[in-house]
């Protein structure tokens, strides 16, 4: 059992991962500045430290004093549209945060890092077929670039030291804990499944389809949606992989199954309590037509098998969580 530092552990994916780490018997310290995370998302039994990942001294002190063996870095900004409006903020947070973490790890002698990256590093380079880690990268928005630059920093640091890393490139993360204990709390999250869940509980009157003229079978964008608990399991396996002394790797995380925006909306409507209107709108800037993962490398290396790879499970758990949030507020 290991001591793990989770930065951004009060966020959506981070907090689900903390739950899974604790269940696997690991000790967890969470660092989060609560800019988008929620203290109440951090499970009991976690050592919570309020602070910013860009504060390298703060991090290195925690790493040293808590005897951390591996760091999982979720702390980042992740809204594509916002990254186009505020690129410098994205580079400051995401690239600056990675640099600060690398310095802190170097100072504290911690040499194992799990890093959250994204399918946005592939940009529009995919169109036909699934994307493997060898697919040419080429982000089309500052968010994607901030993650690709961060990957490069980690890669260079590893070449110059004994640092080992696992970079996970997430496709579309969605859904909520099946036991109803956790889910997406950010009220203004803009992701499709989240918005569809809000519509399904009557919090939103209408859902918009951003672009119906993409070169896809039904004209809407295709994405590979992965359940947040499956992704959390992957992180535990990744950390344990490094703790066993394994080599660095960059790995895609998805199911290899794409759904169009229309297909997701139709699943969301199937599970919804309240039917909602769907309107067609223009394309959203920065959206690639199709992103579907080839995650065979990750599955082979970590021995991971998907447990929740069904778009209805994703929509159902997201809706149940949204209902729970609503009942807590009212
Ligand atoms: N999308 C949409 N309506 C919405 C939100 C998203 O049509 O209200 C589309 C979006 O344009 C993209 C897909 O759904 O094609 C997935 O978007 P999301 O924001 O969930 O994730 P992203 O792929 O941008 O990380």
CATH of the domain at 274: 3.90.25.10
Q: Which of 85, 69, 73 is nearest to 3 (CA)?
A: 69
Set 122, 143, 170, 255: catalytic member: 143
Residue 135 vs residues 152, 291, 294: alpha-carbon distances, Å: 16, 12, 10
Residue listed under structure tokens 């697919």 = 135
Ligand 1 site, CB within 6 A: 80, 172, 190-192, 195, 207-210, 221, 223, 261, 284, 287
Among the atoms of ligand 1, which is closest to the Cα of residue 174? 20
Tens-digit pLDDT profile for the chain (330 aa)? 999 999 999 999 999 999 999 999 999 999 999 999 999 999 999 999 999 999 999 999 999 999 999 999 999 999 888 999 999 999 999 999 999 999 999 999 999 999 999 999 998 866 567 999 999 999 999 999 999 999 999 999 999 999 999 999 999 999 999 999 999 998 777 899 999 999 999 999 999 999 999 999 999 999 999 999 999 999 999 999 999 999 999 999 999 999 999 999 999 999 998 899 999 999 998 888 999 999 999 999 999 999 999 999 999 999 999 999 877 754
Alpha-helical runs (H) found in 9-141: 12-23, 56-65, 80-85, 87-90, 96-108
Q: How many domains, the chain?
A: 2
Alpha carbons within 13 angstroms on the beta-carbon side of residue 285 total 10
Residue 179 falls inside a structural domain = no
Residue 187 falls inside a structural domain = no
Alpha-helical runs (H) found in the chain: 12-23, 56-65, 80-85, 87-90, 96-108, 142-159, 192-200, 228-243, 261-271, 296-302, 311-329
- 94, 146 Cβ separation under 8 angstroms: yes
Both tokens assigned to 150: 């961060």
Q: Is 143 a catalytic residue?
A: yes
H/E stretch holding 223 reads: strand 222-223
Both tokens assigned to 64: 């040293």
- 9, 18 Cβ separation under 8 angstroms: yes
Q: What is the pTM of this model?
A: 0.96
Both tokens assigned to 74: 């979720």
Among the atoms of ligand 1, which is closest to the Cα of residue 120? 25
CATH number of residue 119's parent domain: 3.40.50.720
Full domain range(s) for residue 206: 192-223+256-329
Single out the residue in 201, 236, 253 at which a domain terminates: 253
Single out the residue in 236, 253, 270 at which a domain terminates: 253
């Amino acid at each position: 059992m290991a001591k793990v530092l989770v930065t951004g552990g009060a966020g959506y994916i981070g907090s689900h991962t903390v739950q899974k780490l604790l269940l696997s018997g690991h000790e967890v310290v969470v660092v989060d500045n609560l800019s988008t995370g929620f203290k109440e998302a951090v499970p009991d039994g976690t050592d919570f430290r309020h602070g910013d990942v860009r504060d390298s001294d703060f991090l290195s002190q925690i790493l040293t004093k808590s005897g951390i063996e591996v760091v999982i870095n979720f702390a980042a900004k992740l809204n594509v549209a916002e990254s186009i409006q505020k690129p410098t903020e994205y580079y400051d947070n995401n690239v600056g945060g990675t640099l600060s973490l690398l310095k802190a790890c170097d100072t504290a002698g911690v040499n194992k890092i799990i890093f959250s990256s994204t399918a946005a590093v592939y940009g529009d380079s995919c169109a036909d077929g699934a994307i493997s880690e060898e697919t040419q990268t080429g982000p089309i928005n500052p968010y994607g670039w901030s993650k690709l630059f961060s990957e490069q920093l980690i890669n260079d640091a590893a070449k110059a030291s004994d640092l080992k890393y696992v970079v996970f490139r997430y496709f579309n993360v969605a859904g909520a804990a099946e036991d109803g204990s956790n889910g997406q709390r950010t009220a203004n999250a803009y992701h499709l499944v989240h918005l569809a869940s809000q519509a399904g509980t009557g919090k939103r009157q209408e859902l918009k389809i951003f672009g119906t003229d993409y070169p896809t079978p039904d004209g809407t964008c295709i994405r590979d949606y992965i359940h947040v608990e499956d992704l959390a399991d992957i992180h535990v396996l990744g950390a344990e992989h490094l703790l066993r002394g394994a080599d660095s790797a960059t790995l895609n995380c998805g199911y290899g199954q794409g759904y169009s925006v229309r297909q997701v909306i139709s699943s969301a409507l199937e599970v919804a309590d309240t039917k909602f209107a769907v309107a067609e709108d223009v394309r959203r800037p920065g959206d690639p037509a199709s992103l579907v993962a080839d995650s065979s490398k990750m599955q082979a290396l970590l021995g991971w098998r998907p447990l929740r790879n069904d778009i209805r499970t994703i929509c159902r758990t997201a809706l149940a969580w949204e209902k729970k949030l609503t009942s807590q507020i009212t």
